[in-house]
């Protein structure tokens, strides 16, 4: 392999399906040894972008440089060095966890011992279980195990924690941090802002096929201002919303969830004002939260929508 | 090579652990064989003894009774009236009935018995000739009817024995569906996607999967062959060399056809339906379950352009129930293997290209 500064470089990547621009001029660079995250709602173009780099899809245009080598579509040589955990990993039924890992291990010229991988993903006691019998978290850990079987330099993980309970999600996060410590580069897609905040060194926020902002999680949050965020549940009321406008505060109201988000530097005064107009309009206000801004707020500021709305 | 062997091994393992698929691939042909075995008279071996033909004659025709009694292999029942005779034939109690009005012989045959025993037609002629000779004063000696199978091959077998290679070829033709089930449904369930991101060569993957299923199909066909020999006391004169060549090449040919259908139709259900339709046409026109002689000439010709006709024929030759030359088997095998190579070369490389348009 050639020497390279960035392990992956993507320039003006485009992919259209009919009238839908799934990926619309995406460019980014990934540093070796980092956790790079594509954050965005469902349908933002994260998976399509990732699958183009993984060689599952062919771009309409754009450049991909992987391991310092420009490729139209990655070949066997690059596949030997990458590991992929798909958004939904489906495997051959009636094979055991160990057999599945052994089969995929045989496709690579180099890699780890199956038992070591089983131990790393904490599936040693499930080695003889059929893959169909695994729980969601165990399946996800097996998917990561399969991605690791060739001891790759670069890992692509497409929404590795979607559908998992908090405990299982946390266990996957721990695995990913261990992998980062081993020097592996991880490319992650997620629509969980907590995941991106917790794991990522660099975040690209995607929406409608485009990268709308990128940076470290801290820089992205700082970019929308250091104000606190007040979240409250409010019944929908036109008079309340009209009066809210008169307050001249920076707010977003999601009628679907009845959730009001207000960014402010003056928390107490703002809460007082909201409660006052709520009383005037006979509107119930519940579940008040005061917190620091996060990536969810960054997305909200940039798009006017919440990540989880989608 | 390592990847190919690994895919083949694990495909085979996943198969024999899958009760449903295992049942349909191995047990279903056996069930077919058992059903046909009972339909065609259970013990199918010629070793089990000569069968007799039950003939009915109206009691007032004494000369006819005398003539028919001299013919060996017939079991004669004397009935009172022609109506009773027709009724017994209709019910299947008699294979045939004979009525003679002094000028014309009427041979009464139930159509379903006629399908099973087509030689009943010639029986009428024989009895008429015997009657004429009796009238001419020639009573004894050379007029005999024996139910004798003129064996086209070396094995002396009954209808069932002749049909078993057909059931095996049904099993062979089912390989079409094994490929649709594998590649079509694996694609739909996104199983192939995991392989597509690995560095496995698509041909190693396809051939590995094919090999796993190939072993299963061979075992299934041989299982049928051994099972019927034991259960129905049939003795085949098997040429293992030709049998394995015929079986292997036809299974590969049929699998390639399945791969072709999978490549042609993105929806596995559509591929399955088309495969089913073609399989039924092939079975119907390939002389597997009934002789093609019943069909009009143009349909016989149609049957002869279908591959299953040749598969069944090659298998019959291989187990010794039909006369044939090794050249026939070689030619069929070369065509089937060529079809496999061509179709897998054309479509196999695309199996792991999964992009939706």
pLDDT number for residue B148: 44
Measured between beta carbons, the chain B residues lying within 8 angstroms of A104 are: 194, 198
Judge whether B33 and B164 are in contact, CB under 8 Å: yes
All structural domains of chain B, each given as residue ranges with its CATH number in brackets, are 2-43+154-353 (no CATH), 53-135 (3.40.190.10)
pLDDT number for residue A47: 93
Query: What is the CA angle A188-A191-A192, rounded to 5?
Result: 95
Measured between beta carbons, the chain A residues lying within 8 angstroms of B25 are: none
The residue length of chain A stands at 310
Q: Choose the closest CB to A79 out of B13, B17, B199.
A: B199
Who wins on pLDDT, A170 or B27? A170
Best of A56, A75, A88, A106 to substitute, by most chain B Cβ atoms within 10 angstroms, is A106
Q: Choose the closest CB to A54 out of B186, B189, B197.
A: B197
Give percent of chain A with pLDDT exceeding 90: 44
* B14 Cα to chain A: minimum distance (Å): 5
Measured between beta carbons, the chain B residues lying within 8 angstroms of A80 are: 199
Judge whether A285 and A291 are in contact, CB under 8 Å: no
Backbone φ, ψ for residue B55 (5° rounding): -115, 135
Give the C-alpha separation, A37 to A193, whole Å. 10
Measured between beta carbons, the chain B residues lying within 8 angstroms of A66 are: none
* Interior/surface letters A230-241, b for 16+ CB within 10 angstroms, e for the rest: bebebeebeebb
Q: Choose the closest CB to B2 out of A55, A76, A106.
A: A106
A73-87 mean pLDDT: 91
Judge whether A168 and A137 are in contact, CB under 8 Å: yes
Instruction: Kindly determine whether residue B14 and residue A93, on different chains, have CB atoms separated by under 8 Å.
Output: yes
Residue of B nearest to A53 (CA): B197
Give the C-alpha separation, B60 to B82, whole Å. 11
The helix (H) or strand (E) run that includes residue A285 is strand A285-291
Size of interface A-B (CB pairs under 8 A): 72
Q: Which of A296, A191, A282, A224 is nearest to A254 (CA)?
A: A296
Average pLDDT, chain A: 88
Instruction: Kindly determine whether residue A56 and residue B189, on different chains, have CB atoms separated by under 8 Å.
Output: no
CA torsion sign, B288 to B289 to B290 to B296? negative
Give A301's contacts (C-beta < 8 A, 6+ positions apart): A224
Q: How confident is the model at residue A296 (pLDDT cuts 50, 70, 90)?
A: confident
Successive 10-residue mean pLDDT values, chain B, 357 residues: 90 85 77 75 45 78 78 81 85 82 78 60 74 69 46 55 79 84 84 91 91 86 84 82 93 90 84 86 77 75 84 87 85 93 87 67
Residue of B nearest to A80 (CA): B199
Q: Which residues of A touch B (CB under 8 A)?
A: 17, 54-58, 76, 79-80, 82, 84, 86, 88-95, 99-100, 102-104, 106-108, 130, 146
Q: Choose the closest CB to B199 out of A93, A99, A108.
A: A108
Q: How confident is the model at residue A36 (pLDDT cuts 50, 70, 90)?
A: very high
Residue of A nearest to B189 (CA): A90
pLDDT number for residue A3: 66
Instruction: Kindly determine whether residue B199 and residue A88, on different chains, have CB atoms separated by under 8 Å.
Output: no
Backbone φ, ψ for residue A67 (5° rounding): 50, 35
Give the C-alpha separation, B323 to B262, whole Å. 36
Instruction: Sheet with A20-31: list strands edge to edge.
Output: A20-31, A6-17, A61-66, A69-71
pLDDT number for residue B149: 43
Enumerate the β-bridge partners of residue B96. Answer: B55, B109
Backbone φ, ψ for residue A32 (5° rounding): -65, 140
CA dist B324 → A109, B293, B305, B319 (Å): 49, 18, 18, 11
* A76 Cα to chain B: minimum distance (Å): 5
Who wins on pLDDT, A269 or A164? A269
CB-hemisphere CA count at 13 Å for B18? Answer: 21
A32-60 mean pLDDT: 92
Residue of B nearest to A96 (CA): B14
3-state SS class at A223: helix
The DSSP code for A266 is -
pTM over 0.90: no
Give B275's contacts (C-beta < 8 A, 6+ positions apart): B176, B177, B180, B258, B261
The helix (H) or strand (E) run that includes residue A83 is strand A82-85
Instruction: Kindly determine whether residue B197 and residue A106, on different chains, have CB atoms separated by under 8 Å.
Output: no
Measured between beta carbons, the chain A residues lying within 8 angstroms of B356 are: 17
Q: Choose the closest CB to B355 out of A56, A79, A92.
A: A56
Q: Which of B302, B353, B30, B14 is nearest to B164 (CA)?
A: B30
Judge whether A196 and A217 are in contact, CB under 8 Å: yes
Give the C-alpha separation, B294 to B303, whole Å. 12
Instruction: Kindly determine whether residue A76 and residue B194, on different chains, have CB atoms separated by under 8 Å.
Output: no
Q: What is the pLDDT of residues A235-270, one digit of tens each?
A: 888 888 888 888 878 888 888 778 888 888 888 888
Best of A107, A149, A153, A157 to substitute, by most chain B Cβ atoms within 10 angstroms, is A107
């Amino acid at each position: 392999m050639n020497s390279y500064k960035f392990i992956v470089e993507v320039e003006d990547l485009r992919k259209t399906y009919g009238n839908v621009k799934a990926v619309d001029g995406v460019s980014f660079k990934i540093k070796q040894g980092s956790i790079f995250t594509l954050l965005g709602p469902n349908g933002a173009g994260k998976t399509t972008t990732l699958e183009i780099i993984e060689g599952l899809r062919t771009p309409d245009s754009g450049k991909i440089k992987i391991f310092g080598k420009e490729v139209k579509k990655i070949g066997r040589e690059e596949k030997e060095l990458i590991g992929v955990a798909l958004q939904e990993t489906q495997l051959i039924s009636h094979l055991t966890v160990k057999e599945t890992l052994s089969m995929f291990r045989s496709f690579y010229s180099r890699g780890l011992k199956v038992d070591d991988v089983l131990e790393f993903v904490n599936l040693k006691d499930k080695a003889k279980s059929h893959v169909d019998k695994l729980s969601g978290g165990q399946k996800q850990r097996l998917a990561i195990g399969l991605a690791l079987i060739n001891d790759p330099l670069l890992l692509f993980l497409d929404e590795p924690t979607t559908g998992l309970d908090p405990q299982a999600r946390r266990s996957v996060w721990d695995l990913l941090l261990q992998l980062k410590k081993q020097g592996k580069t991880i490319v992650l897609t997620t629509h969980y802002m907590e995941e991106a905040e917790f794991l990522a060194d660099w975040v690209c926020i995607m929406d409608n096929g485009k990268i709308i902002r990128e940076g470290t999680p801290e820089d992205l949050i700082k970019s929308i201002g250091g104000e606190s965020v007040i979240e409250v549940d409010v019944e929908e009321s036109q008079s309340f919303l009209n009066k809210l406008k008169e307050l001249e505060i920076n707010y977003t109201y999601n009628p679907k969830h009845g959730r009001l988000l207000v960014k402010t530097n003056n928390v107490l005064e703002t809460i007082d004002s909201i409660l006052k107009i709520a009383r005037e309009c006979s509107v119930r206000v519940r579940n008040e939260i005061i917190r620091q801004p996060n990536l969810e707020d960054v997305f909200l500021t940039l798009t006017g929508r919440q990540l989880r709305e989608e | 090579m390592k990847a190919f062997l690994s895919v083949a091994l694990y495909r085979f393992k996943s198969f024999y652990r899958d009760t449903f698929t295992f049942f349909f691939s191995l047990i279903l042909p056996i069930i077919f064989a058992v059903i046909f075995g009972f339909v065609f008279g259970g013990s199918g071996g010629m070793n089990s003894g000569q069968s007799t033909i039950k003939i009915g004659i109206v009691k007032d025709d004494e000369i006819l009774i005398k003539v028919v009694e001299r013919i060996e292999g017939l079991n004669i029942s004397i009935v009172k009236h022609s109506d009773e005779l027709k009724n017994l034939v209709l019910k299947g109690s008699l294979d045939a009935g004979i009525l003679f009005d002094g000028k014309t012989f009427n041979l009464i045959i139930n159509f379903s018995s006629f399908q099973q025993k087509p030689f009943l037609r010639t029986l009428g002629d024989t009895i008429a000739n015997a009657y004429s000779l009796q009238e001419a004063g020639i009573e004894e000696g050379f007029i005999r009817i024996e139910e004798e199978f003129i064996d086209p091959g070396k094995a002396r077998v009954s209808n069932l024995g002749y049909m078993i290679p057909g059931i095996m070829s049904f099993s062979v033709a089912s390989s079409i569906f094994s490929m649709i089930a594998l590649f079509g449904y694996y694609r739909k369930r996104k199983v192939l996607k995991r392989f597509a991101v690995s560095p496995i060569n698509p041909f190693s993957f396809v051939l590995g999967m094919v090999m796993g299923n190939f072993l299963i199909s061979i075992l299934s066909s041989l299982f049928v062959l051994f099972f019927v020999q034991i259960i129905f006391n049939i003795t085949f004169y098997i040429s293992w060399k030709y049998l394995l060549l015929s079986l292997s090449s036809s299974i590969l040919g049929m699998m390639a056809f399945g791969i072709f259908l999978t490549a042609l139709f993105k929806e596995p259900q559509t591929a399955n339906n088309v495969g089913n339709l073609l399989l039924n046409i092939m079975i119907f026109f390939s002389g597997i379950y009934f002789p093609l002689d019943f069909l009009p000439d143009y349909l016989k010709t149609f049957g002869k352009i279908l591959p299953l006709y040749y598969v069944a024929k090659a298998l019959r030759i291989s187990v010794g129930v039909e006369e044939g030359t090794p050249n026939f088997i070689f030619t069929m095998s070369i065509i089937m293997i060529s079809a496999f190579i061509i179709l897998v070369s054309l479509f196999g490389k695309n199996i792991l290209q999964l992009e939706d348009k």
